[in-house]
């Protein structure tokens, strides 16, 4: 993976988009109001503390979590209860893993994952309803467990060690060796790279270790935003992303957008491109700001829901 590969692949999508556009005026307005202390990490804002885990366990936790951290939407939304509190989405997934650890289940161990039984996983993810894409998630955990055993002595830290603590090299290893992380699409015959969960895993390692030890990763600033469904919703609310009437109608009516469709690819590509433009604007006052910091800020902003919020786009996919 070279610096700029992802941006080079999405640039033609942005240039040929017919369903999504970026409003530069509103983008600059948002940047003018942005303060340096607004940049928080979603991981440190999580209600679950990972610092009590040993380093290898924390790394395996991040790997397991980001392996299955996708597609939580539905009516009703999958929700779990952990120590008297209800959690959904990404925090629901973290809570499920924590609950499994509390029960003494070795869910962070590759040999356990590689032979994980469906009934055991159903108990781990037990909530108000079955989690969406249960069978895909189950298959991914088993596959990733087997790959960790076969190639990396069952430890995700060995993947980091092989990367020589280089964020781009680590991204390449994750997307090459673990197929479910290989998040790419084809737009008008051209390859488009997103690597949402793989980039998130690399960023989470950096954040979890505060840029030290296993988190001391070179080229961390070369990561782009992680293209999902929540951040486009926030960018639309801020007036930065504008949808065509046809696409806006589908999203607002909660009509599913097909994975790999031009509409879906344009949403994700323009989201990444908009955050790159935000970054360049913010660098005038915050020189060290990164795309992943802006990504995290916007994701957290999206947790502050209001009754007049428009829906996010709905796509059934393992990639986000």
Whether residue 1 has pLDDT greater than 80: no
Q: Is residue 116 part of a domain?
A: yes
Contact 101, 109 (CB under 8 A): no
pTM of the model: 0.93
> What domain range includes position 158?
5-301
Structural domain includes residue 316: no
Decide if 47 is inside a domain. yes
Residue 51, pLDDT score = 79
> Is residue 72 included in any domain, yes or no?
yes
When divided into structural domains, the chain yields a total of 1
Nearest CA to 96 among 66, 70, 72, 65?
65
Measuring CA to CA, how many Å separate 133 from each of 130, 169, 198? 9, 30, 19
Instruction: Please give the structure tokens belonging to residue 150.
Output: 């076969």
Q: What is the mean pLDDT of residues 255-280?
A: 98
> What are the structure tokens assigned to 178, written together?
């673990």
Residue 77 lies in a domain: yes
Q: Interior CA angle at 178 toward 173 and 182, to 5°?
A: 85
What is the rounded average pLDDT of the residues 273-292? 94
Per-residue pLDDT, averaged over 288-293, amounts to 91
Annotated catalytic residues are 228
320 in any annotated domain: no
Strand locations in the chain (E): 20-22, 79-82, 85-88, 184-187, 190-193, 241-243
Read off the pLDDT of residues 69-114 as tens digits, 9 standing for 90 and up: 999 999 999 999 999 999 999 999 999 999 999 999 999 999 999 9
- Asked if the structure places residue 95 within a domain, the reply is yes
In a domain, 267, yes or no: yes
Average pLDDT (8-23) is: 98
The DSSP 8-state label assigned to residue 270 in this structure reads H
Q: Is residue 199 pLDDT above 90, yes or no?
A: yes
The residue to which tokens 């991040």 are assigned:
62
How many beta carbons lie within 10 A of that of residue 310, not counting itself? 11
């Amino acid at each position: 993976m070279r610096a700029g590969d992802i941006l080079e692949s999405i640039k033609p999508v942005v240039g040929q988009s017919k369903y999504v556009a970026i409003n530069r005026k509103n983008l600059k307005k948002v940047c003018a109001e942005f303060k340096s202390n607004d940049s928080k990490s979603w991981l440190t804002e999580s209600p679950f503390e990972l610092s009590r885990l040993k380093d290898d366990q924390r790394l395996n936790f991040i790997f397991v979590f980001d392996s299955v951290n996708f597609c939580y939407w539905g009516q009703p939304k999958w929700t779990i209860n952990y120590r008297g509190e209800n959690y959904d989405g990404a925090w629901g997934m973290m809570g499920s893993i924590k609950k499994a650890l509390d029960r003494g289940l070795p869910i962070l161990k590759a040999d356990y994952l590689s032979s994980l039984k469906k009934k055991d996983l159903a108990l781990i993810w037990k909530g108000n309803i079955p989690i969406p894409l249960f069978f895909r998630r189950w298959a991914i955990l088993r596959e990733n467990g087997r790959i960790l055993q076969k190639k990396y002595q069952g430890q995700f830290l060995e993947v980091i060690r092989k990367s020589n603590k280089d964020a781009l090299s680590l991204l390449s290893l994750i997307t090459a060796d673990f197929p479910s992380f290989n998040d790419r699409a084809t737009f008008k015959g051209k390859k488009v790279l997103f690597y949402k969960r793989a980039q998130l895993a690399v960023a989470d390692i950096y954040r979890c270790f505060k840029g030290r030890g296993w988190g001391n990763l070179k080229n961390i600033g070369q990561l782009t935003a992680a293209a999902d469904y929540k951040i486009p919703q926030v960018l639309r609310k801020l007036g930065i992303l504008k949808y065509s009437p046809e696409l806006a109608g589908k999203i607002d009516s909660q009509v599913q957008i097909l994975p790999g469709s031009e509409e879906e690819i344009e949403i994700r590509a323009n989201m990444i491109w908009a955050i790159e433009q935000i970054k360049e604007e913010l660098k005038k006052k915050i020189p060290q700001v990164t795309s992943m910091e802006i990504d995290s800020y916007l994701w957290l902003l999206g947790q502050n829901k209001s009754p007049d919020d428009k829906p996010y786009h709905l796509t059934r996919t393992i990639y986000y």
